[in-house]
Structure 1
Amino acid sequence: MTLFDRAVNVVLANEGSTFTDHPSDRGGPTKYGISQVFHPDIDVKNLTREQAKTIYKVRYWQGRRYDELPDWVAIKTFDLAVNMGDRNAAKILQRALRAVGYDLKDDGIIGNITIGAAKQADEFATVVAMRSEAAGYYRSLAERKTDQAVFLRGWLNRAYA
């Protein structure tokens, strides 16, 4: 199984397979984590698991250098990116690397410096720090956007997964 396959299976487990249309979800109708608002060209309601995997590979994985990160760091970063966006997930990774002793900016870009630090850092410690950083991000988001607070419990479950 490839790293992408492992990562997308985590995403699909976290997102679930049920079609939802929660009134507070800014993404609108959603299935497998694919939202109608962000993917207007997709028939989200009738989306299959295999179609979702293809979308994740083409639109969320390719060109983002996740495959250059240690496996569990890549999986966690990808899962967070699907939920909070690439830039925010990269910042979470960079803050986590700072928390485990690496001096780098949280510029939101997974480039050579971030990849180098991630390869040198203890993988387990980095993922633990990412969980903490992600939880803080989600708590802050729920405080700033109170209409989104209804999702906080699910976000925290994802952060700590």
Structure 2
Amino acid sequence: MRVFNVSTLHQHFGQIYPVAFNWIISAEGEKKSNHAADRGGETLYGFSRRAYPNLDFSALTLDKAKRIYYRDYWRVCRCDELPNVLAIAVFDAAVNHGIFLAIEMLQRAIKTKPDGIIGPITLAAIDNHNYNDLLTLYLARRGRKYARIVMNDLSQSVFLLGWMHRLTKLQFAIYQAANRFSWQGWQSRFAA
């Protein structure tokens, strides 16, 4: 797996996006896939034919993927304005569930109006929570969403273990990044 040099990417995308992008590529993979049960159809770097019908997969490079993710997910979700640990989790959810649902699940976790838009009310409500606790609650909501997908369509059960594994690995990767980069405010309120 190729991983971008984080210090070089900071010049173009800020401090957190390179970490988040590396996570997405590790979670989504760099190879083309076309699982029969995958509703998105053919997929490359996490982009599906269903979501990107006009994207030329034969010309899609990792660099282009990085720019598309930044434009279509990171910026739309206003991840630069979120606490670091939540920025990565919301970005991952937007890629995996869609932007509206990723934001709506966050808003439900912080008990604000679930309108799927990150605005000043959502940002203020986030600041009233312990980020670690909020991250755990947000990921639990995502796990519940996966379970509901399978309950509504048993053909998707083939993906359930992988989806749950993704959430566990994501939380661990976020905590590793928080320690590595000394992000403030992510520890549990009960930490020593």
Fold equivalence (TM over 0.5): yes
The answer as to 2:163 corresponding to 1:150 is no
Q: How far off its partner does 1:46 sit?
A: 4.9
CA contact (8 A) 2:77 2:91 kept: no
Q: How far off its partner does 1:28 sit?
A: 1.0
Q: How far off its partner does 1:124 sit?
A: 0.8
Return the TM-score normalized by structure 2: 0.75
The answer as to 2:137 corresponding to 1:129 is yes
Corresponding position of 2:43? 30
* Number of residues of Structure 1 aligned to a counterpart in Structure 2: 156
Q: Distance in 2 between matches of 1:97 and 1:111?
A: 13
Q: Call closer, same or farther: CA 1:46–1:19 in 2, change over 3 Å.
A: farther
More divergent stretch after superposition (16-25 vs 46-55) = 46-55
**Structure 1: 5+ residue stretches without partners:** 99-103
Q: Distance in 1 between matches of 2:29 and 2:124?
A: 33
Q: How far off its partner does 1:128 sit?
A: 0.7
Q: Deviations over 1:39-90 (max 9, x none)?
A: 1222225522111111111222223312111011011001011010011111
**Structure 2: 5+ residue stretches without partners:** 1-9, 171-192
CA contact (8 A) 1:69 1:119 kept: no
Q: Distance in 2 between matches of 1:64 and 1:76?
A: 11
Runs of 4 or more off by more than 3 Å in structure 1?
A: none
Q: Deviations over 1:94-130 (max 9, x none)?
A: 22224xxxxx222222221111111231111111111
Corresponding position of 1:53? 66
Q: Call closer, same or farther: CA 1:45–1:152 in 2, change over 3 Å.
A: farther
Return the TM-score normalized by structure 1: 0.89
Larger Rg: 2
The answer as to 2:20 corresponding to 1:12 is no
TM-align CA RMSD = 1.5
The answer as to 2:83 corresponding to 1:70 is yes
Q: What percentage of residue pairs aligned between the two structures are identical?
A: 37
